[in-house]
Amino acid sequence: MLAHAPVADRWIGNRRRGQGACVFAAAVIVSVSLSAAVRGQGGSLTPAAKELSPGDVARLIAELDHDEYRVRQEATRRLSRGGVSAIAPLAKAAAGENLETAFRALAALKELGCALDSETEEAAFGAIESLAAGESRTAERAKSVLVGMKIASQHRAKERLRELGATVVDRGDPEEYDGPILVGAGVGGGAVFMARGGVIVGPGSTTAYYPGTIEISEKFTGKAEDLRLLRRIDEARQIVLAGEQITDDWLAQLKGASAASVQRIELRRTKVTDAGLAHLAGFSSAAWIVVKHTPISDASVDTLAKFSNAQFIHLYGTKISAAGAAKLATALPNAEIDRRGGALLGVSGSRGEQPCVVSTVQPDSAAAKAGIREYDVVVSFDGKPIGDFTELTGAISEKVGGETVEMEIVRATASESPESAAKPMKVKVTLGSW
């Protein structure tokens, strides 16, 4: 484009004489703007903004309509690096009647939306969103610019999160993804994943990294304000926040976020309180909410009740009481409310079927270490008779990780000693944690 700039400049030197010249000028500026979008998507960001004085901003905006192309280009370049102070005047100019000034102002705002600092980026986004929602002559172009900015910003946000130690799994095409997809929870512990060819049960400590997962864990080296990057990612399906560094201040960065695409959100071993959980109001469309070993109490029931689309709410190792869980179940009759003390046995089976037959045992789980096997029948747990897996889950839910309990099982398969087959046997189990 630069090679043709002198020709373009001569062509639009008398641009006020006809409408065609204005359209051509707009096309030139659009090309300038699009080049910035390409740089943004490639990971190259606009350099740190250098704040301009109000007088400098006003002078440079006036020069956006200068007769000389070189002057107009230099004014656009400087304004695109003018920082937050330039955004409001640029937005006003972009809504004006002079198309040359308006399109160049819009191009500068787009560059500012690629700034390294989040304050400038968010202010530029807000300005262009207002322009797109308005009735100025540049409204339609602002809508188009906004789409490109969101794509570029989302790309940069994901790359920045990766640099800070987050796990980010792009969605992509499901046909090209060979990993597990989270579909349910194993009774007595563990997540059930749908893999190609069947269902497998993963350890309770394992997150299913299906496409669209973002996990912020103890490996994350960023600060609370870095969570604001999540606001720019509109294709996340699962968000996991784990570790004691996750506090109310961290969740406050998500306040006001709209996350219609998020299907599952998990807090694991965090220090989030009832007040902090309220910041997740923007994720109320999620179908699966999991809170593990996080000190929320019955005061959070009203907040959780706002997740009107919830199908599963798992509360493991929280301070929510049985009465609080019952209140939540009444408020969300279509959701499965699973409240547990946080203990993990590490087996799965079928709900409602008698007797209580172990279908699978997770490797290295509490059950595996105690010698429990597949097809064992659980007769009792900590002295309580067990008739089915629902009763087993209820018994486990009252325990916390680290407790040792006695279980009575019947090994229905043939053993080394035929005369001992199908006889009850007692095992000691030290329960794990979610």
pLDDT digits (tens, 9 = 90+) for 315-348: 998 999 999 999 999 999 999 998 888 788 989 8
Q: Is 183 within a domain?
A: no
Query: What distances in angstroms separate CA 91 from CA 81, 132, 308, one per listed residue?
Result: 15, 11, 38
Predicted TM-score of the model (pTM): 0.65
Q: Is 173 within a domain?
A: no
Q: Given 283, 318, 340, which residue is the final one in a domain?
A: 340
CATH of residue 410: 2.30.42.10
pLDDT at 431 over 80: yes
pLDDT digit string, tens, across residues 295-309: 999 999 999 999 999
62 and 106 assigned to the same domain:
yes
CA distance 420 to 78: 86
297 and 236 assigned to the same domain:
yes
Q: Which residue has the higher pLDDT, 231 or 195?
A: 231
255 and 370 assigned to the same domain:
no
Q: Is 395 within a domain?
A: yes
Q: Is 54 within a domain?
A: yes
Helices and strands per DSSP (H, E), number in the chain = 14, 19
Q: According to the model, what pLDDT value does residue 258 have?
A: 60
Quote the number of domains for the chain: 3
Q: Is 213 within a domain?
A: yes
Q: Is 168 within a domain?
A: no
CATH of residue 305: 3.80.10.10
What is residue 109's three-state secondary structure? Answer: helix
214 and 273 assigned to the same domain:
yes
Given a contact cutoff of 8 angstroms between Cβ atoms, the answer to whether 408 and 380 are in contact is: yes
State the average pLDDT for the chain: 79
Q: According to the model, what pLDDT value does residue 171 have?
A: 61
pLDDT (mean) for 77-100? 94
pLDDT digit string, tens, across residues 215-257: 999 999 999 989 988 888 888 888 999 999 999 999 999 876 6
Q: Residue 34: pLDDT band by 50, 70, 90 thresholds?
A: very low
Name the most confidently modeled range: 1-10, 274-283, 350-359: 274-283
Q: Residue 177: pLDDT band by 50, 70, 90 thresholds?
A: very low
Q: Residue 413: pLDDT band by 50, 70, 90 thresholds?
A: low
Instruction: Report the percent of the chain where pLDDT is more than 90.
Output: 49
- Look at 63-72, 211-220, 378-387 and tell me which has the smallest mean pLDDT: 211-220
Q: Residue 262: pLDDT band by 50, 70, 90 thresholds?
A: confident
422 and 398 assigned to the same domain:
yes
pLDDT at 108 over 90: yes
Residue 198 structural domain: 192-340
Q: Given 340, 366, 382, which residue is the final one in a domain?
A: 340
48 and 139 assigned to the same domain:
yes
pLDDT (mean) for 260-272? 90
Q: According to the model, what pLDDT value does residue 260 have?
A: 75
Q: Is 383 within a domain?
A: yes
